[in-house]
Structure formats: structure tokens, C-alpha cells
Homo-oligomer: A and B are copies of this chain.
Amino acid sequence: MEKSALQKARSVYKPKLPVVMTGAVKAVEGKDTNSVADQEEIKALFPNTYGLPEIQFEKDSAPAKGAAPINVGVILSGGQAPGGHNVISGLFDGIKKVNRESRLYGFLMGPGGFVDHQYMELTADIIDQFRNTGGFDIIGSGRTKLETKAQFDKGLEILKKLNIQALVIIGGDDSNTNAAILAEYYKQINAGVQVIGCPKTIDGDLKNDVIETSFGFDTATKVYSEVIGNIQRDCNSSKKYWHFIKLMGRSASHIALECALQCQPNVCIISEEVEAKKMTLNDIVDYIADVVAARAADGKNFGTVLVPEGLIEFIPAMKALIAELNDLLATNAEEFSHVDPSNRIEWVASRLSDINKEIFTSLPEGVANQLCLDRDPHGNVQVSLIETEKLLGHMVARRLDLLKANGRFVGKFATLFHFFGYEGRCADPSNFDADYCYALGFNAACLIKSGLTGYMSSVRGLTKPSVQWTTGGIPITMMMNMERRHGQMKPVIQKALVDLNGKPFKKFAASRERWAKNTEFIYPGPIQYFGPAEVCDQPSLTLKYEHE
């Protein structure tokens, strides 16, 4: 594996471990916990792991000597996030510190490798190749969901064969929910295997009172902010384009919000606000068009618009349209397949309810076609394929034509489109994520050594320097509530959407009119690893404002 100069230089970086973890630790139990909602249902579903106490680690001044080796399995689940390799290297160092004979096994290509017994031992040689690097390529990741008893039993076979006493699942809210179910099951059958989760997702929607952030969010938003900043500088130099920039993040708009706080674009749409205010697509288009027209009146025919990937599904009217489309096309799949392509839109429109028909026929032809044609294996519209940034750009152009005809827009409107997602998911972790992930993994080893199961690794106080962070474990059931999934009520970790009463959104909302009118772009530049602390070691602004 040939390495870049930066990879080589970065491979010797030593994550700054919280002071508490630099020696022996003891697990101090806090008070017993309850789930965030639906306590009775969740308690009934998790009789063996519900209500456990929070754990905080403290220095152990009189540690027991000579602990036995611990064999651990690790799984990377779901989409990539910067820092996954450091969770694994922290975990490796943690169990080796317990006993040099401890072994770490990685299951390949996600939970599927666990079920299918595809694995590799992660030795020091391998771990050292991946310290402080981005990506999940050390063992690969996958989207298989660990949900069934058959999978759990199958996985247990390989755990027993390898004498593994604990499984660490690195994943998002769904994967950690499944980690809790697996922990409960193994406890119930006395399998003798602990299960620990680690909070991963660039989307930033796995967080709550006790998990301050998921790893990867920091790095990914810094990469996006770098390229957005570069585009803004270009925009402000040539002064002739409006850049519509879509940002990854399927449900929550944390990524768009963080990038807006970092870069101060002229417009940023926040899905949660659109939903709360029951905005229509036209409302959003009118808002953007008004900003464009006001800037044009000041002689500024350029600007930037940030759009969260999941926007469409947060527009109540679009949500209703998509739901009716899904029903209509599923029910009439056979008939629809014979409709001449040039008549598809008409065929669909004529079968929709009046209100949805109006919305559907107001969409640009390309998007209407996309809504009819691109369907996932379940027959549903693939919302992530819709080029929302182009949809908005084209609708704003039409709106401006109207304003121009009325003398309310005097200017030019030329657009360029961008989508950033894959650029950030596997970037080399920032110092923050490198330290945070290493601590999460090292801490997972401490939770295992303490005999705990059904816990999520928790590292807190993240706005302080990393040496001051506190570490411990949170019962995963504590974060759960009951939600409807595929028609059934299920226990799931509550997703954290953007809080419209939270400080990050309020900071944004208080400034956006100024950012829209003026050109107050900030250019964050690329992630730095070697420079002054104020450049290299800053957490996200979201985290900072949330904990001010």
C-alpha cells in the first residue's frame, strides 16, 4: 500500500487520550436510567438490560493486578464516517493494555461478515497501517441489518469459536438499536457475550443529553466547509454565478446548518424549519428568489445556497404527493409499465387527487419523470436521487422570470450546481475526530473489562481540550422510544433532528438576513493537522454552541 506524504506524517500522530484513561480506571455507577419515552414498553422488551445505571470512569488508585486477556470482535456498520479506524485502534490498544494476549477480530464488510463468519484478526501490524486514517477499508462496512434471532445465533457460533467475549458495533442509530437488541438477547440466553455500541454518523443525528455528538460529523462538515468556502471565494471573485450546493444528510439538516455557521452563505435551507412552518416548495422558491432579487437590486448577481439532501421529504406537501405516488404506482404497476413514456406524466397526473395533481404538474418535467420512474426495490420513490439543488435552481429561475416581468427583478441569474457527500465520509479524521474516536474505542475496552453490556461508549465534555474529556457508558435503552417502522411499533433510538430552539439554529436564524443581503462569506480552508491549536483542534460550531 503506497502512502501519501501526509498519510506517513499522520501515521505517527498520538491521539490525545483523556487523562482519566491514562492509568487504571474503575467504573462508578450513577443513578439508574429510564428510556426517553415509552418506559413501560421498552422495559418489557429489554427485561435484562433496561434501567441500568450510567457509568463514569474514574482513576483507580488501587487496581487489581493481572487481568485475563479479552478477545473482542468489531463490526463497522452502515455508511462510512471519518475516524472509524481510530475507534478500532483505540479498542485494540485498550484490550492490549488489559493483557498483551488479548485479541481483536474484525468482521468483514459489516454485520454480514458477522453472520457469515467472514473475519480477520487485527494484529498490531495491520492496526498501525490504519491509525489516524479515514475510511472503513480496514475491514469494510455494510448495510446488513442485525435483526433476527437466526442472525444472532449464527453470529454466536463464530464468537464462541474464537472465544470472543465482547462485540463492539460501530454504527448509527439503527445499528446501535440492534446492538441493544443483541445485548438483550445474549444476556437472556446467557451467551456470555457483551455488546457495546459506538456512536457513528456524519449526519450528526445520533446525539442526546448523554451522547454529545456522533463521530465523523466534525471531519465531514469541515471538508464540506472547505469546498463550500472555496466555491464562495470563486463566487465572490467572478461575481456572476449563484451556486446551489446540496449536502449529504438524509433526514436531519445538521450538516447544512454546521456548514452555514462555518461559511455564512447567502441562503441555507433547514428541513426541520420547512416542516415546522409547513412550507411548500413554492414558499422555499419564493424565499430564495426574493434573496436573489434583493441582491440583484444591490448589483450583486451572485451568491450561494445550501440545500440539505433530505429536504424534499420534509416539505409536507411533497411528502403527501410522494405517499400518493407510491400508492398509485404500486397499485397500478402493470398498467403503468405499458404507458408510453411521453404520456407518463399525464397518465399519473390524471389519477392523482386534485391537490397533489396541482403540485405534481407544477414540477419541472425532469423531476416529475424522476418521481414516476426511479423507484427502489420496494416500489418507492428514491428521494435521494432527486436533484433537489437543480429543482430549486430551475424553479427559482422561473420565479425570477415572473418577477422580472413585473419589474421586481432587475439582474441576471446564472446557476451552477454541486453535491457534496462522498468527498467527506472517508476523509482523514480531524484532530477532534481522531482523538474522539480513539477515546471511544479505548473506552469501549474499559466498558468490556468492567463486564458491561448493552452500553454505548460515551465520551463527554467535548468542547474542552481532549485531555479533560470524561468517559463512561450509557445504557442504550436509555435513548430509546417506540416508533412506527414498516407499519409496526419498534423500540428505536430517538433521532436528533435540528432543534429550532437550540442555540446553533438560533445563531443561524439571527444572522441569516444579514448574510443574505451582504456578502459575509467565511473561507474555512482545509483541515490542518500540524498548526496552532486554534486552527487544528476546534470542535464543530454546533457542538460549541450547544454546550456554551
Chain A interface (Cβ within 8 Å of chain B)?
A: 1-10, 79-80, 109, 133-137, 140-142, 223, 226-227, 229-231, 233-234, 236-239, 243, 262, 264, 342, 416, 418, 422-428, 520, 522-532, 534-535, 538
A6 contacts B135, C-beta separation under 8 Å = no
Chain B nearest CB from A420 CB (Å) reads: 9
Q: Is the CB of A137 within 8 A of B233?
A: yes
20 example contacts (A-B, Cβ-Cβ < 8 A) are as follows A1-B520, A3-B522, A4-B523, A4-B525, A6-B531, A7-B525, A10-B525, A80-B234, A134-B233, A141-B238, A142-B238, A223-B230, A227-B227, A230-B424, A230-B425, A230-B426, A428-B523, A529-B531, A530-B532, A531-B531
Q: Is the interface of A mostly helix, strand, loop or mixed?
A: loop
Q: Which 9 A-B pairs have the closest CB atoms?
A: A530-B531, A526-B526, A233-B426, A135-B233, A6-B525, A136-B237, A234-B426, A227-B423, A530-B530
* B237 engages A2 (CB within 8 Å): no
CB-CB < 8 A to A538: which residues of B?
5
In addition to A5-B524, A142-B238, A416-B422, 13 A-B residue pairs with Cβ atoms within 8 Å of each other are A2-B522, A3-B522, A4-B523, A4-B525, A135-B236, A137-B236, A140-B237, A140-B238, A231-B422, A243-B422, A526-B527, A528-B528, A528-B529
- Chain B residues, CB < 8 A from A524: 4-6
Nearest B-chain residue to A234, judged by Cβ: B426
Contact A9 B80 (CB under 8 A): no
- Chain B residues lying within 8 Å of A1, measured Cβ to Cβ, are 520
B135 in contact with A7 (CB, 8 Å): no
Q: Are the C-beta atoms of A534 and B9 separated by less than 8 Å?
A: yes
**Contact partners of A520 in chain B: CB under 8 A:** 1-2
Q: Are the C-beta atoms of A229 and B4 separated by less than 8 Å? A: yes
Task: Give every chain B residue within 8 A of A9 (Cβ-Cβ).
Answer: 531-532, 534-535
Which of A140, A229, A230, A231 is most buried by chain B, counting CB atoms within 10 A of its CB?
A: A230
A140 and B239 within 8 A (CB): yes
CA distance A427 to B137 in the complex (A): 29
- For A231, the chain B residues whose CB sits under 8 A away are 422-423, 426
Output the nearest chain B residue to A525 by Cβ-Cβ distance. B6
Contacts of A532 in B (CB 8 A): 9, 530
Chain B residue with the shortest CB-CB distance to A143: B238
